[in-house]
Amino acid sequence: MSANVEIYTWSTCPFCIRAKALLDKKQVNYHEYTIDGNEIERERMAQRANGGRTLPQIFINNQHIGGCDDLYELETEEKLDKLLAV
């Protein structure tokens, strides 16, 4: 079984592309919510992300991880694999 990974993105966002690249490199299955211009979805995302409105917003097993930099920081600190293991 693998972790439930969700990522809110904007299709042309370089940070979103970078975050997905790391997940793809690690062969992680994730559910992507592309919210290009959809303010209703962005508000729903912000509620889940404790007010965070920047993209991407990443969740692992319903835990808010943050954005791209936060994801890469977890990888650098060797904590990401543990979060992804179930």
Please name each of the domains of the chain with its CATH number: 5-84 (3.40.30.10)
- Asked if pLDDT for residue 1 goes beyond 70, the answer is no
Q: Is the Cβ–Cβ distance between 14 and 41 less than 8 Å?
A: no
- Asked if pLDDT for residue 2 goes beyond 90, the answer is no
Within 13 Å of residue 6, how many CA atoms lie on the same side as its CB? Answer: 11
Per-residue pLDDT reduced to its tens digit, 54-82: 999 999 999 999 999 999 999 999 999 99
DSSP conformation class of 6: E
| Stretch 10-18: mean pLDDT | 97
Q: Is the Cβ–Cβ distance between 45 and 33 less than 8 Å?
A: yes
